Amino acid sequence: MYQPSHFKIEDRPALDAVMRAHPLAMLVTAGPGGLIANQVPFVLHADEGAGGLLRAHLARPNPQWREIAAGAETLVVFTGVERYVTPSWYASKHEHGKVVPTWNYVAVQVRGPARAIEDAAWLHPHLEALTSQHEAPRETPWAVSDAPAPFIDALARGIVGIEIEIAEIAGKFKLSQNRPDADKHGVLNGLRNDSESESQAMAGLVATYALGERS
């Protein structure tokens, strides 16, 4: 991933937070079958292994797990908050007009050795962790144990687990850090004036990373 110094983020807790908040990531492999990419929900286990582990699962008919089993190179791409930035928000537009549109975004990429797992004793705890991750905030969370055990067992036979050791992690938070302060404030105000939740989330990131405002 191209990482200009303005946008490079190495703060591991910040990168972990992105992976947890945006767990549906692009799993990319390059193996004998060529490039394969699939959207897959991941669970981060930051305290396991030397640099943390990512766990997920694929449908058994999906050929990507066989590529992983054969040693395919593996990349996982997490995409966080993103927003279009209009040059109309820049103070520079009114000063000299030499501005163009851009896009602000957050991305985290992970590389590392991966393995395919067909062991039910591994799959069931993984499914419980994945479910808990997304159901816990709900008022009445659903649990894997709410479904009949034979039904879950049958479904588990149709999937294959994936575990990736985090050997390399790269973060890019492109949040207007490279703009003059007046432009940064213009972007912040433009985002804050947009009621959409994604704009509000981006405004918080711009305030923190581009303007150094801490809540």
What per-residue confidence (pLDDT) applies to 205? Answer: 97
CA gap 117, 210 in Å, rounded: 42
Residue 215 has a pLDDT of 57
Question: Where exactly are the structural domains of the chain?
Answer: 8-82+103-177
Confidence at residue 130, expressed as pLDDT on a 0 to 100 scale: 96
The string of DSSP codes covering 121-165 is HHHHHHHHHHHHHHHTTSSS---GGGS-HHHHHHHHTTEEEEEEE
CA distances in angstroms from 39 to 55, 75, 91, 133, listed in the order given: 13, 12, 39, 17
Q: What is the CATH number of domain 8-82+103-177?
A: 2.30.110.10
* Cα torsion angle, 160, 161, 165, 170, sign: positive
**What's residue 94's pLDDT?**
86
| Contact (Cβ atoms closer than 8 angstroms) between residue 188 and residue 175 | no
User: pLDDT averaged over consecutive 10-residue blocks of the chain (215 residues)?
Assistant: 96 97 98 96 95 97 97 97 96 89 98 96 95 94 93 94 98 97 97 95 97 79
The per-residue pLDDT for 64 is 97
Q: What is the pLDDT of residue 98?
A: 86
**Tokens matching residue 152:** 């879950």
pTM, two decimal places: 0.93
The predicted structure's pLDDT at residue 210: 97
Q: Is 4 helix (H, G, I), strand (E, B) or coil?
A: coil
